[in-house]
Amino acid sequence: MKRALPIEKTNIILDQHAAAPLYRQLYERLRAQILAGQLEMGVRLPSTRVLASELGVSRNTTALAYELLLLEGYIESRVGDGTRVARLQSSLLRQAGKSVKKPSRQPGVKSPLAQRGQALLDAERTGDIYSEQATSGTNPFRVGQPDVTHFPYELWARLVAKQARQALPDVASYQHAQGYLPLRAAIATHIGITRGVQCTPEQLILTSGSQGALDLVARTLLDPGQSAWVEDPGYMGARGALLAAEARLIPVPVDEQGLNVEAGRQLSSSARLVIVTPSHQFPSAVTMSLGRRLELLEWSRAAQSWIIEDDYDSEYRFSGRPLQALQGLDNSERVIYIGTFSKVLFPSLRLGYLVVPPALLPGLNAVRRLIDVHPPLLEQLALTDFIVEGHFARYLRKMRAMYLERRNTLITALTQELGGLLEITTPEAGMHLVAWLPQDMSGEYIIKQTTQQGLPILSLSTYSLRPLQRDALVLGFATSTPKELQTGVQKLARALRGRS
């Protein structure tokens, strides 16, 4: 049920049943109204207590929303003067106002967007399909970001320059929708050896990162309203691609063995597809057990459903036996494998790939040509040399050792400072870990504590569509030096100990 309660100059609509927590919705609505000038600079806001009672929400909800606004400089608070809308620079306001438009669903106002576009915008505003916090520069535990400072840019520049001079003139016209064949061959060899993916270069389609791959697959394989399983908690980018294709999302719980296939069967046994991260579940960091892999393959074979295997960061495996990719275990041609260079090289390269069963190639290629024809070729040429000349393998070895050291530093520091409070897990792969909170402690509450201390960290519930029985902190370790991680943990410990 939606409730609309007028407070001075505002009309705040909060949806108790939305996936985004109430505090987040309230923060988004107030922020949008400040940026749109509906809440004028200097105007006094009601106290958290008054606002909470007018909206019929807990004081915690309003306090949390105000704290986020305070932290980001949208409001100011002075003892004796209450809370007021900050006097933002008008240029800043104009700029920000461009991306944050008036709140949606205002009565009588038609959205300039299609319903689908509006739904995606709303989902992004409420943090359902994108989280700024995860990638924020102020977070020493950034999630999903590699360390890009050690990449050999000079070498890369030489390869790009050489290819621009020598090879580009021959491939400057429109190229094959699937991308540069020698690069596809180099990738096929690499994932054959390291991931047990069985494919020929002809089965590879180069895309604009994994996001481009997820989008292409969702557009091509799903009709509006068809069901798709998503891991819960799970990757927002996957949910976004499915929403853009107007799929019906079926959140399937994840446990210590990965996606719970039996739960998925009970929720929607004939779902059209599932998007999974078996090597290193995002965000719980669990490696899917062999039993579950076989169960998932069996389900997809029987239901004739597709498995979309997002293998986004499995190159960073530190311990444990590397489990072969689902694609290599599949003998029914139901698995579509996705890889990306975002984590192993750098995200702005925007190169990823799909490995698809041959039967899907004509359809995917047709759709691909209509989206963007093919990714830019110059980077593909340079990347081919980077792999073939051995730089890729060398860089990967170096970064793996660096991330292993960072992972171990983070675990040691967390154990020393917070071992009594958090249950710290050791991920076998990837660039982040989870630290379980005590049963009775909510992630929302912790985010509040840490945000107050300027540490905008995330919890599993940030990525969840349904309430979790137990929450955990999601801590990236790739972008910070060991020293920075230690300092970050001390700050985190102070924030958590400051709890009442």
Ligand X SMILES: Cc1ncc(COP(=O)(O)O)c(C=O)c1O
Can you give the binding site for ligand X, defined by CB under 6 A? 144, 209-211, 235, 237, 277, 282, 310, 312, 340, 342, 347, 352
DSSP H or E run through 250: strand 248-255
Rounded least distance, CB 314 to ligand X, Å: 11
| Nearer to ligand X among residue 241 and residue 411 (C-beta) | 241
DSSP-derived 3-state class of residue 315:
coil
User: Could you tell me the smallest distance in angstroms from the CB atom of residue 8 to ligand X?
Assistant: 40
CA-nearest of 330, 282, 280 to 306 is 330
Q: Identify which of residues 67 and 310 has a Cβ nearer to ligand X in the complex.
A: 310
Name 438's Cβ contacts closer than 8 Å, sequence gap at least 6.
421
Please report, for the chain, how many H helices and E strands are present, in that order: 18, 17
Show the 3-state SS of 122-161.
HHHHCCCCCCHHHHCCCCCCCCCCCCCCCCCHHHHHHHHH
Q: By C-beta, is 209 or 443 nearer to ligand X?
A: 209
CB of 62 to ligand X, least distance (A): 31
Minimum Å gap between C-beta 172 and ligand X is: 26
Q: Which is nearer to ligand X, 140 or 352 (CB)?
A: 352
C-beta closer to ligand X: residue 338 or 411:
338
CA distance 488 to 494: 10
| Residue among 103 and 144 whose Cβ is closer to ligand X | 144
Q: What is the closest distance, in whole angstroms, from the C-beta atom of residue 58 to ligand X in the complex?
A: 32
- Shortest approach of ligand X to residue 425 CB, angstroms? 17
Q: What is the Cα–Cα distance from 181 to 196, expressed in whole angstroms?
A: 20
Dist CA 475 CA 456 (whole Å): 11
Distance between CA atoms of 311 and 29, rounded to whole angstroms? 36
**C-alpha 73: how far from chain center:** 25
Partners of 337 in the β-ladder: 309, 355
Q: Is-contact 134 258, C-beta < 8 A?
A: no
Tokens 């997809």 belong to 300
Q: How far is the CB of 347 from ligand X (least distance, A)?
A: 5
Between 338 and 446, name the residue whose CB sits nearer to ligand X: 338
CB of 2 to ligand X, least distance (A): 32
Name the residue type at position 14: L
Residues 325 and 291 sit within 8 Å (Cβ to Cβ): no
Comparing CB distances to ligand X, the nearer of 211 and 449 is: 211
